[in-house]
């Protein structure tokens, strides 16, 4: 059985919006890292066609993850300042 982390910042517990945002931020940044690793692996395979559809899909996923990470970071910053008490429930722009 997986170990439940006692620290709400690490658990992604939905009862703690800030902890959940940190969890989501780590996930989004993980998506960026995985996409960049995929690009690095793909470089060796596709030297003759650097602008393949596969490369474009990987770049698109990395950019989507980076945008999501930026959105979450903005929500966290707003929460830290105390400007929005319910920042986690705000719709994304």
pLDDT tens sequence across 27-53: 888 888 888 888 777 776 666 666 677
Task: Specify the residue for token string 């658990």.
Answer: 11
pLDDT of 14 > 80? The answer is no
Whole-prediction pTM value?
Answer: 0.51
**% of the chain beyond a pLDDT of 70:** 65
What pLDDT is stored for residue 2 in this prediction? 38
More confident residue, 90 or 36: 36
CA neighbor of 23 nearest in space, from 81, 78, 88: 88
What pLDDT is stored for residue 8 in this prediction? 44
């Amino acid at each position: 059985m997986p170990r439940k982390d006692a620290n709400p910042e690490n658990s992604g517990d939905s009862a703690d919006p800030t902890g959940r945002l940190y969890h989501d931020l780590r996930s989004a940044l993980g998506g960026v890292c995985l996409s960049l690793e995929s690009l690095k692996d793909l470089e060796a395979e596709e030297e003759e066609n650097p602008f393949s559809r596969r490369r474009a899909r990987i770049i698109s996923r990395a950019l989507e993850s980076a945008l999501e990470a930026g959105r979450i970071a903005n929500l966290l910053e707003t929460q830290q300042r105390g400007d929005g008490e319910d920042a986690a429930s705000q719709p994304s722009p």
